[in-house]
Amino acid sequence: MMKISDEFLVKADEKAFDLGHRKTINHNIGKYNVAVERGTSRFENLENSKKKAHVIKWRVMENLDKFLPEFESNFQRRGGKVIWANDAEEAQKEILNIIQRNGGKTVIKSKSMTTEEIHLNDFLEKNNIESLESDLGEYIVQLLGQAPYHIVTPAMHLSKEEIAKLFHDKFGTPIDATPEQLTQKARELLRDKYLKADIGISGGNFLIADTGSIALTENEGNARLCTTFPKIHIAIVGIEKIIPSMADLDLFWPLLASHGTGQNLTVYNTILSGPRRPEETDGPEEMYVILLDNGRTNLLAEKDQRQGLYCIRCGACLNACPVYKNIGGHTYNTTYSGPIGSIITPHLKGMKDFKHLSYASSLCGKCSEVCPVKIDIHKMLLLNRRDAAADHENSKSEEIGWKLFNTGMQKRSRMDMVSGKVKNFFLRFLFKKTWGKYRSMPEVAPKSFAKLYQEKNKADKNI
């Protein structure tokens, strides 16, 4: 069976030279860049806003043991129920228990990366429960049997022609249908599902500690339908999504919108604080929040790297990353792709299997530059590499190779002991595969500069 890291290299090789894929991604990210530049320009002092967000998230992570119980207490006081899940299996089991206890057979979902993280759709399907995505992008990739390509825009890798063909094959729409016509068709297909679904499932952009609320932000309105029509609403949220106060949304919602899509605010922003009360006209009869760990406390334990948990899932670092723009989201083989996925996945899913993601970077620093909460992403990549080496997660051949390199590089005389001819032989023999089949190996000069300089000085003295 192919190792995850080897599979990554194979997929990266395919995608990097897929010109059609590159054209679609460059087009979509180009539009994103224009929108975000316009959106962030509306901040009076963007840098100060980012620093403030960073400090708030720092305070939360340093006091997570206080903020999470505060949220739990306030949410339960309003009639909601909180479930703590250590891992994906526990979360799946708890969700299934709620559905079966209420005789549920159908689930309607809004966009949620945590449900992708626990592979909820596949799990429910195996238990004979229909689970349907209502976000248009998620719905499209679900029809294709694919995972989301991007944290914010799940179908970014598809052109409008490819989506039109998909709808033509599945639903008989015209092959040349416009995006507006395709959206209308999806609306017709999904509208009835909201009314008939037994369970509504969402994620949560933020957990608000002082009011015991979850905040949802979206552009299509499907999350509101998922959380109000079904009798039961389940929200699955990572424990890092907590913020101290309702007042903090004044900062985080604009930061998320401007960096995610270039908007001042997304179209629909909802705050939910429990099930429907007697005086209210809509909302679920029961509401659950599942607080998901699934490796997050592993990252929290790493003092140097826990700022990876500050992420608000805006996707800005993906769109800025030259590696992501060439190899695409599916290549990473993780729920969270791009730079942020590269720094958190080794801690969520194991350094041994996913350390290679921290090497999938040019270390240009653009990801850190665009982050709305000022996560030092490129530094985290280096720290992950450090940890992989310290824990001997690298292969023996890699460790021996770097040891020899380190020994040789420490002294000029050791470097000059081996001729350029021998060095070129080892380069071709040892590094040809990792250098890439589309590139020629660099050629080492027969003599080093230091050697040539010595010889010149000696010759000058003899004149």
User: Does pLDDT of 252 surpass 70?
Assistant: yes
Q: How far apart are the first and last CA of the chain?
A: 66
pLDDT band at residue 281 using 50, 70 and 90 as cut-offs:
confident
Within this chain, do residues 287 and 426 fall inside the same structural domain, yes or no?
A: no
Q: Mean pLDDT, to the nearest integer, of 438-458?
A: 83
Question: In degrees to the nearest 10, what's the CA dihedral of 96, 109, 158, 177?
Answer: 130
Q: What total of structural domains would you count in the chain?
A: 2
Within this chain, do residues 263 and 137 fall inside the same structural domain, yes or no?
A: yes
Within this chain, do residues 277 and 406 fall inside the same structural domain, yes or no?
A: no
* Cβ pair 299, 347 in contact under 8 A: yes
Query: Does residue 362 belong to any structural domain of this protein?
Result: no
Helix pair 136-144, 179-196: axis angle to 10 deg: 90
Within this chain, do residues 222 and 77 fall inside the same structural domain, yes or no?
A: yes
Query: Does residue 25 belong to any structural domain of this protein?
Result: no
The secondary structure of residue 39, as a DSSP letter, is H
With H, G, I as helix, E, B as strand and everything else as coil, classify residue 184: helix
Query: Does residue 259 belong to any structural domain of this protein?
Result: yes
pLDDT band at residue 351 using 50, 70 and 90 as cut-offs:
very high
User: Over the stretch 62-84, which tens digit does the pLDDT of each residue have?
Assistant: 999 999 999 999 999 999 999 99
d(CA 295, CA 146): 24
User: Does pLDDT of 258 surpass 80?
Assistant: yes
Query: Does residue 328 belong to any structural domain of this protein?
Result: no
Q: What is the pTM of this model?
A: 0.90
Of 54-68, 297-311, 443-457, least confident by mean pLDDT is 443-457
Within this chain, do residues 279 and 411 fall inside the same structural domain, yes or no?
A: no
With H, G, I as helix, E, B as strand and everything else as coil, classify residue 388: helix
Phi-psi region at 283: left, alpha or beta (left = phi > 0; alpha = psi -120 to 50) = left
What's the pLDDT score for residue 178? 94
Query: Does residue 438 belong to any structural domain of this protein?
Result: yes
pLDDT band at residue 1 using 50, 70 and 90 as cut-offs:
low
Within this chain, do residues 280 and 426 fall inside the same structural domain, yes or no?
A: no
User: Does pLDDT of 432 surpass 80?
Assistant: no
d(CA 54, CA 44): 17
d(CA 163, CA 141): 10
What's the pLDDT score for residue 206? 98
Query: Does residue 329 belong to any structural domain of this protein?
Result: no
What's the pLDDT score for residue 72? 98
- Listed residues 279, 294, 309: the one ending a domain: 294
% of the chain beyond a pLDDT of 90 = 79
Within this chain, do residues 287 and 419 fall inside the same structural domain, yes or no?
A: no
What's the pLDDT score for residue 400? 81
- Listed residues 262, 294, 326: the one ending a domain: 294
What's the pLDDT score for residue 25? 93
Q: What DSSP string describes 192-215?
A: HHHHH-SEEEE--SEEETTTTEEE
76: CB partners within 8 A, 6+ apart:
82, 212
pLDDT band at residue 357 using 50, 70 and 90 as cut-offs:
very high
d(CA 431, CA 451): 25
Residue with tokens 């897929």: 18
User: Over the stretch 82-125, which tens digit does the pLDDT of each residue have?
Assistant: 999 999 999 999 999 999 999 999 999 999 999 999 999 999 99
Query: Does residue 27 belong to any structural domain of this protein?
Result: no
With H, G, I as helix, E, B as strand and everything else as coil, classify residue 444: coil
Query: Does residue 287 belong to any structural domain of this protein?
Result: yes
What's the pLDDT score for residue 409? 80
* Cβ pair 78, 173 in contact under 8 A: no
Range of the domain at 424: 396-461
User: Over the stretch 289-323, which tens digit does the pLDDT of each residue have?
Assistant: 999 999 999 999 999 999 999 999 999 999 999 99
Of 202-216, 271-285, 432-446, least confident by mean pLDDT is 432-446
User: Does pLDDT of 463 surpass 90?
Assistant: no
Amino acid identity for residue 136 in this structure: L
The token pair at 442 is 């660099």
Q: Are strands 213-218 and 206-208 parallel, antiparallel or unpaired?
A: antiparallel
User: Does pLDDT of 436 surpass 80?
Assistant: no
User: Over the stretch 139-182, which tens digit does the pLDDT of each residue have?
Assistant: 999 999 999 999 999 999 999 999 999 999 999 999 999 999 99
Q: What is the mean pLDDT of the chain?
A: 93
- Listed residues 294, 324, 341: the one ending a domain: 294
d(CA 113, CA 334): 11
Within this chain, do residues 269 and 417 fall inside the same structural domain, yes or no?
A: no
Within this chain, do residues 165 and 285 fall inside the same structural domain, yes or no?
A: yes
User: Over the stretch 385-410, which tens digit does the pLDDT of each residue have?
Assistant: 999 988 888 777 777 877 887 887 88
* Cβ pair 175, 164 in contact under 8 A: yes
pLDDT band at residue 457 using 50, 70 and 90 as cut-offs:
confident
Within this chain, do residues 67 and 192 fall inside the same structural domain, yes or no?
A: yes
The larger pLDDT score, comparing residue 405 to residue 368, is at 368
What's the pLDDT score for residue 427? 79
Within this chain, do residues 275 and 423 fall inside the same structural domain, yes or no?
A: no
